[in-house]
């Protein structure tokens, strides 16, 4: 069940890996491919690390979108589909970081729920 909840994180990592491979950044592609493996360590810092990397990945998507939009605009080429696709990918990437906020199972696994908060959830 936990792997299913983490699918958005792994998909975001694969999209970033493909992006960096396309740009020729092999080192960044390897890092993008491997960073979700940190989630096999059941610690709070791994969640924060993954969330930070996904945030940086979102910045990379927005940066790429802006650069490609400028190139397309200057060349007089269509840009709407490009902006739609990369915009959706950016939103998906940042949304992947929020899976830890909405799943009590993940929050419990990575120690994001304190004992008192867990007790309050049970009482509700």
Measured in whole angstroms, the distance separating CA 123 from the mean position of its chain's CA atoms is 33
Q: Is 38 exposed, middle or buried (0-12, 13-18, 19+ CB in 10 A)?
A: middle
- pLDDT of the chain, 124 residues: tens digit per residue: 889 999 999 999 999 999 999 999 999 999 999 999 999 999 999 999 999 999 999 999 999 999 999 999 999 999 999 999 999 999 999 999 999 988 899 999 999 886 555 555 555 5
Q: Is 22 exposed, middle or buried (0-12, 13-18, 19+ CB in 10 A)?
A: exposed
If you search the block for the tokens 């396309």, which residue do you land on?
22
Pick from 44, 100, 22: nearest CA to 14: 22
Give this prediction's pTM: 0.86
Measured in whole angstroms, the distance separating CA 57 from the mean position of its chain's CA atoms is 7
Locate 71 and state its tokens: 């190139």
N-terminal to C-terminal alpha carbon distance within the chain: 24
- The number of helices, as runs of H, and strands, as runs of E, in the chain is 8, 0
């Amino acid at each position: 069940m936990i792997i299913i909840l983490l699918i958005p994180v792994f998909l975001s990592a694969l999209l970033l890996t493909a992006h960096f491979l396309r740009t020729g950044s092999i080192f960044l592609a390897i890092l993008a491919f491997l960073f979700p493996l940190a989630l096999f360590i059941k610690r709070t810092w791994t969640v924060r690390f993954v969330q930070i990397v996904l945030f940086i990945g979102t910045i990379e998507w927005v940066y790429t979108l802006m650069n490609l939009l400028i190139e397309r605009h200057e060349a007089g080429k269509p840009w709407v589909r490009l902006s739609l696709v990369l915009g959706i990918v950016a939103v998906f990437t940042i949304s992947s970081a929020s899976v830890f906020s909405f799943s009590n199972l993940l929050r419990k696994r990575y120690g994001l729920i304190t004992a008192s908060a867990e007790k309050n959830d049970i009482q509700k």
